[in-house]
Amino acid sequence: MRKLIYLAVGATPVLAGITTILRYFSDILPLASTEPQSVWRFEAAFLLTAAQWIALAVVALAAASIVVLLWKSNRARVL
């Protein structure tokens, strides 16, 4: 249980950091403008977006696991 909490708490700042980078530096988004973009900007945007989705999945799965474990342990105490 403690490891899941550490995982969720550790992945949350990573998710927030990547989201902040993508939000405030919108010129690196893949489709931010109609001008042709350089390949490295497109690849950087792809990697940052992929990392953002992976961090979101890690946080969501860890949070769901924590909720299920707490619900199961609480249910076992009631019975």
- Type and span of the H or E element at 51: helix 39-78
Identify the residue whose tokens are 């109609």: 34
Residue 25 has pLDDT above 90, yes or no: no
Percent of the chain past pLDDT 70, that is, above it, reads 77
Predicted model pTM: 0.73
Residue 63 is predicted with a pLDDT of: 92
Sorted by sequence, the CB contacts under 8 Å of residue 42 that are 6+ apart come out as 30
Instruction: Report the C-alpha dihedral over residues 43, 49, 50, 56, rounded to 10 degrees.
Output: 170
